[in-house]
Chain A
Amino acid sequence: MSEALKQSLDLALFWEYRAVLLSGLLFNAGIFACAGLAALVLGLAAALLRLSSARPLRWIGTVYVELFRNAPDYVMLVWVHFVLPLLLGLALRTRIEFHPFLSAVVALGLVYSGYFAETFRAGIQSIPKGNIEAGRAVGMSEALILRRITLPQVVRRMLPEGLNIFISLFKATTIVSLIAVPDLMYRVSMVTQQEMQPLPLYTGAALTYFAIILVVATLLRWAGDRWSRSVLA
């Protein structure tokens, strides 16, 4: 038993395969970046729909948000990868297949847009009406008001919650290995099968993610606090 403990803490094997494993991390980063961007854009759109004055639009926004916010990441990933191409294929009468990378970006982008939509909505609702009315009074268009008055304040207010969503998204990128995107976890399981030694590899992966997320989250929170203070002051 102590032999196993020693082995699980002996990260030499993890180090030996560092090039393979770390290039897997690039896939995590790439999916994180693409899905994060998609989630922000879709989330903002959904929030604007939910706040729209037209009832049908509001209704569509609500259904969209509740659908994706309540869907488990993994279920969504499997659905987008295996069902969505078939449905699109039936509609377009062709054979469609999604590259696993695309499925991962679409699935995570949709799920996390649901979370972002709620954060955007809360942020937009917290803006005093007078600001928007003042913008209209000086003749700004609705788009200009959104860009120059509403969004800058919203971004500041949703920063802490937004960071949390981004951190969850980064953690969620680890499940893309399950549809064969060659990310860090995928490579860990490959090397494990080759070397028949799961202990140091899974421990190494856990420690790697722990370190990355802790460091990045702490830095971002610190930078965000500083920025918010400097803008508000």
Chain B
Amino acid sequence: MSNWERLVWNQRDALLSGLGVTLEICLLAFVGAIVGGLLLCLVRLYVAPLRPLAILLIEFFRATPIFVQLMWVNYVWPEVLGWPNTFFTAGWVALALQSSGYLAETFRTGIEAVPRGHREAALSVGMSRALIFRRIVMPQALLTAAPSLVNQFTVVVKSSTLVSVITVPDLMFQSQKIVNVWYEPIEVLTATAAIYIALVFSISQAGKYASDWLRRTYGLQG
């Protein structure tokens, strides 16, 4: 029986359940980051009194390393806010915070790239501001932001490997657990690295095709 069979194939249940947790935490974090990023961006652009606060938060989330943020959310928040109360929650919240800072800037670039004339045209045909935002600005901003959104999702997947440090049972955690049982790291860790590389590679390739398709279909320039 080869080592690959013993250490990787026979452990597939653990590794697959880890992969499931990885995907789950990444999706949750990404949805959280989109909501948070949109919120931060809208406050920064349209709520003048809160603008400095939004800028401070965006800069803080962007300029603090994800590992430091993870430790901070995991150890400090529960004491101060009484939340998050599980490692899993702390994990996705930290990942979401980090990405929300980047996405806020991505959305802002997208919104600011919409030509003024479009807004003025909509105003002149009598659309309300909310309707203009929903029907004119947002669809175009999302098209511009699409490639960066996908890119940010790959960053989330890469950073998600760190949640294993706070004992969230993701793929990295399961694979290190197998290493600690058998003391034979070569096959398990190589397989784990290959899975992560394949995952991130397919996400960015799929994203590339998707944004090319969007651009072709809706006639947006690069």
Task: Name A residues whose Cβ lies closer than 8 Å to a Cβ of B.
Answer: 1, 4-5, 7-8, 66-67, 70-76, 78-79, 82-83, 86-87, 171-172, 174-175, 177-178, 185, 188-189, 192, 198-199, 202-203, 205-206, 209-210, 213-214, 217
Contacts and interface: CB of A to CB of B under 8 A. Distances in A.
Interface stretch (B12-20, B187-195, B214-222): B187-195
A209 B176 CA distance: 28
Contacts of A175: 65, 67, 162
A83 B79 contact: no
Name the prevailing secondary structure of the A interface residues.
helix
Given A70-B200, A73-B158, A188-B71, 14 more contacts: A1-B81, A70-B204, A72-B196, A72-B200, A75-B192, A75-B193, A76-B193, A78-B172, A78-B176, A198-B75, A202-B72, A205-B68, A206-B64, A213-B64
B105 to A, nearest CB: 12
A75 B196 contact: yes
A89 to B, nearest CB: 10
B63 A210 contact: yes
Given A4-B79, A74-B162, A82-B185, A206 B197 contact: no
A181 to B, nearest CB: 13
Interface residues of B, number: 40
B199 to A, nearest CB: 8
Identify the 9 closest CB pairs spanning chains A and B, nearest first: A171-B65, A72-B158, A198-B75, A70-B200, A213-B63, A174-B65, A4-B79, A74-B161, A82-B185
Interface string B53-82: 000000110011111110110011001111
B95 interface: no
18 contacts: A1-B82, A4-B79, A70-B154, A70-B200, A72-B161, A72-B196, A73-B161, A75-B192, A172-B65, A178-B67, A185-B68, A185-B71, A198-B79, A199-B75, A202-B76, A210-B59, A210-B60, A214-B59
B208 to A, nearest CB: 12
B186 interface: yes
B11 interface: no
B80 A5 contact: yes
Contacts of B179: 82
Contacts of A86: 185-186
Given A4-B79, A198-B76, A206 B69 contact: yes
A1 B82 CA distance: 8
A131 to B, nearest CB: 24
A209 B76 contact: no
